[in-house]
A and B are shown apart, each in its own frame.
Chain A
Amino acid sequence: MIRSEILKEIAPILRDQLVVCNIGIPSQELHAIDDQPSNFYMLGTMGLASSIGLGLALAQPKPVVVIDGDGSILTNMGTLPTIANNVANNYILMIIDNGSYGSTGDQPTYTGKKTSLAKVAEACGCERVVECKDVDTGAVLQDALDSGEMTIMVVKCDSGNAKMPVITMDPVVIRDRFMKAVQA
């Protein structure tokens, strides 16, 4: 499965959660598949989805699901020790690990080679780390939500992108409607 197929399959689970979605094609895919006010789309700033989501999870009690990528985690690897040492049990970091920089032309990342993000997360001190296959994403995500424990998911899947339109919504609108969903 490629990322867009996974997002289509888990959209019914994501719909009821606060979602922080990674820059570029992941946000475009989620926006096209199931736009919700409770989705925060990153339009720029590669690498910070996990950090934005952690700040959000620490600041309020609703569950937060971050849809991140292997390339973005590699860009901001310092995020994993911060996550491990600031436990928010309403926080789920779902790393779609397709071993490539999808938004820039599927150039390979090191996670498709020797580097294991699940092992990195564990070494950083994250206590609930689950690596799964693409077809199991929905079940593992639901289990993470039900567990009430901070969870790092590493979803191993195929490289590839669906062709979706660029998000033209104004960033202040994205932020405003998201904050209203947080407060609702």
Chain B
Amino acid sequence: MSISSKIVDDVVAAGIAFVTTVPCKQLAGVIDEVEARPEIYHIPSNKEDEGMGLCAGAFMGGKKPMIIMQNTAIGVTINTLATLTQFYRMPLPMLISYRGELREPVACQVEMAVHTKALLNQLLIPTFHFHKEADAEELPEILSYTFMCNKPVAILTDASFWGGYGDQ
């Protein structure tokens, strides 16, 4: 079974039924899996703060939400995380592709990578980092932790976790 299928199996098993996505090359397999699952309403967003608004509404409507996005999104969602998700105390698992780490071919991605953990730390967002495939074994626990504590929680997934960038 592919790692993308395994991740989305865990998402479905956690009762998550509303997933918004903003694409990243690394997340393409996961997004395809999300789209394919009948248990999940998949709603692509045009921007990540919009997606967090959709997730807030879905949560208040009784559905467990999730957002899938790239780490560059931290730069555009700080206000939303602080004044919506955290202020109203809502759970939000964030599966994040962690661009700009080892094996990254695009220099500009490193510019946000160096801020990613610092910003998450500054926002007091619980953060987990998947570097090896075995790290994903903790995903079910992380999802249940997120809905236990009603907080946004970051799951950073780097290039080593996804197996690099192919022929780039």
**B61 on interface, CB distance cutoff 8 Å:** yes
- How many A residues are at the interface, by size bracket? 20 to 34
**A43 on interface, CB distance cutoff 8 Å:** yes
Given A48-B52, A82-B43, A175-B89, A59:B84 Cβ within 8 A: no
Judging by beta carbons under 8 Å apart, are B83 and A43 in contact?
A: yes
Q: Which residues of B contact A48 (CB under 8 A)?
A: 49-50, 52-53, 56, 80, 84
Partner of A52, one of B41, B57, B82: B57
Partner of B54, one of A47, A55, A175: A55
Stretch at the interface among A27-35, A73-81, A105-113: A73-81
Q: Whole-angstrom distance from the CB of B80 to the nearest CB of chain A?
A: 5
**B63 on interface, CB distance cutoff 8 Å:** yes
Q: Which residues of B contact A182 (CB under 8 A)?
A: 60-62
In the complex formed, the residue of A with least CB distance to B56 is A52
Q: Whole-angstrom distance from the CB of B42 to the nearest CB of chain A?
A: 10
Q: Whole-angstrom distance from the CB of A29 to the nearest CB of chain B?
A: 20
Q: How far is the CA of A81 from the CA of B55 in the complex (A)?
A: 17
Q: Which residues of A contact B60 (CB under 8 A)?
A: 40, 52, 55-56, 59, 175, 178-179, 182
Which residues of B (40-73) have their CB < 8 Å from a CB of A?
A: 41, 43-47, 49-63, 65
Given A45-B80, A59-B62, A175-B88, A82:B45 Cβ within 8 A: yes
Partner of B57, one of A54, A76, A81, A183: A54
Judging by beta carbons under 8 Å apart, are A52 and B89 in contact?
A: no
Give the residue among B46, B55, B88 with the most A Cβ atoms within 10 A: B88
Q: How far is the CA of A48 from the CA of B88 in the complex (A)?
A: 14
Q: Whole-angstrom distance from the CB of B73 to the nearest CB of chain A?
A: 13
**B79 on interface, CB distance cutoff 8 Å:** yes
**A147 on interface, CB distance cutoff 8 Å:** no
Judging by beta carbons under 8 Å apart, are A44 and B50 in contact?
A: no
Which residues of A (68-121) have their CB < 8 Å from a CB of B?
A: 76, 78-79, 81-82, 86
Partner of A86, one of B43, B55, B82: B43
Q: How far is the CA of A79 from the CA of B55 in the complex (A)?
A: 13
**A58 on interface, CB distance cutoff 8 Å:** yes
**A12 on interface, CB distance cutoff 8 Å:** no
Given A59-B63, A78-B45, A51:B57 Cβ within 8 A: yes
**A63 on interface, CB distance cutoff 8 Å:** no
Q: Which residues of A contact B50 (CB under 8 A)?
A: 47-48, 51, 76, 78-79, 82
Given A20-B57, A58-B43, A86-B43, A47:B49 Cβ within 8 A: yes
Q: Which residues of A contact B143 (CB under 8 A)?
A: none
**B18 on interface, CB distance cutoff 8 Å:** yes
Can you list 17 pairs linking A and B with CB atoms under 8 Å apart?
A43-B87, A44-B87, A48-B50, A51-B50, A51-B56, A51-B57, A55-B18, A55-B53, A55-B65, A56-B61, A58-B18, A58-B43, A59-B59, A60-B63, A78-B47, A82-B43, A182-B60
Q: Which A positions have Cβ atoms within 8 angstroms of B?
A: 20, 40, 42-45, 47-60, 76, 78-79, 81-82, 86, 171-172, 174-175, 178-179, 182-183
Q: Which 4 A-B pairs give the minimum distances between C-beta atoms?
A: A55-B57, A59-B61, A51-B53, A78-B46
